[in-house]
Amino acid sequence: MDNQKIHMNGGDGPNSYANNSEYQKQLVGYSKIVMTELIEQELDVGIINPDCSPFCVADFGCSVGANTYLAVQNIIEAVETKYKSNEQDQENPQLQVPEFLVFFNDLVQNDFNTLFNYIHGNEPNYFTTGIPGSFYGRVFPKAFLHFAHSSMSLLYLSRIPEEVLDRKSAAWNKGRIHYSCSGAAKEVEAAYSNQFRKDIQAFLDARAQELVPGGLMAIITLTILDGVLPSDSPMALNFTILGSCLQDMANMGIMSEEKLDSFNLPYYYTSPMELETLIKTHGCFDIVRFEKLPTPLRQVVIDVQTAVLSMRVVTEQLFQQHFGKDITEELFQRYTEKLDSHPVLKDDKYRTDASYFVFLKRKTETSKPGS
């Protein structure tokens, strides 16, 4: 199963990602202060050649709505501030605040029409483009970008590992929809982890080529804390409940058992240690900062409808692509009922996830992979 079609719910209606991504928005907010500080500290204003280049920013996995706009706004303000303070430096009078060209990237199935309408409605002070394509491959020319950003996108694998769907494999995940679901074999997690390692490597390879030497990259991603078993994470509980709803529907004959067995969710929650190791091993980026972000408020005080919608806007397209458009109303109705009676929303012991902010700088003296 190739997951090149993962995308959030489009449009701006009640079930859209644009209107149900408060959690992700808070993370962007938390990262603003540290990102501003690090841009001031790390950005070399000389990385652009003002004769032939604007300052190019890309948001990888932008989806639709306010979050990508806010993240980009934060970056541009910080970069402008840095150039303005540099303008006053009389020793380098030639460096003015550059023009900005911003690229919003997501898979080709993303709702770019709604995104463009939103961005234009805010009359941004930069040139706006959309760039469709998987960020696990090259989407930009070489040495073109000055700043890359990606928030809550690297947890989407490029594909479901094949062995998870292979009944002859020890990693076959029969009757479950994720490696974190109750009862999944260790081999399932290993297969997911292996796919994540390949994907991160591909992501860093591509960005290493696309960023200029000295270019910066900010990543926000959701992790499960070091040492926590996947089955003890809040995702595990959510996905186990979702999976049991699907199993109920299979038992009622709404879908076949085979159909259910051939479905797994393409999400992987790395641990801080795993992610840091993969970046260090890759070798093209210096880790300038690697820190835990505060827990979004919404996770602490949450109601069941909000929880269901947050899940629905990111997963619904996947269920529809596999099981057909007709099943999702019933699926999320069942999910709402089961979730409402479950302690996952209220109990602190399930708070084993945490979002991390990672700030990287493209090294200048390593060889470029793939080039």
Residues that bind a copy of itself (CB under 8 A): 48-49, 51-54, 99-101, 103, 108-109, 111-113, 116-117, 120, 127-133, 138-144, 212
Nearer to a copy of itself, 54 or 296 (CB): 54
Nearer to a copy of itself, 280 or 325 (CB): 325
Rg for the chain, CA atoms, rounded: 21
Contact 340, 304 (CB under 8 A): yes
Nearer to a copy of itself, 106 or 316 (CB): 106
CB of 216 to a copy of itself, least distance (A): 17
Query: What's at 232, amino acid-wise?
Result: D
CA atoms within 13 A on the CB side of 268: 24
CB of 324 to a copy of itself, least distance (A): 21
Burial 25-55 (b: 16+ CB within 10 A, else e): bbbbbbbbeebbebbeebbebebbeeeebeb
CB of 229 to a copy of itself, least distance (A): 40
Nearer to a copy of itself, 130 or 175 (CB): 130
CB of 65 to a copy of itself, least distance (A): 15
Residue 92, classed as helix, strand or coil, is coil
143 φ/ψ angles, rounded to the nearest 5 degrees: 50, 50
CB of 6 to a copy of itself, least distance (A): 15
Contact 233, 352 (CB under 8 A): yes
Nearer to a copy of itself, 128 or 231 (CB): 128
Contact 244, 175 (CB under 8 A): no
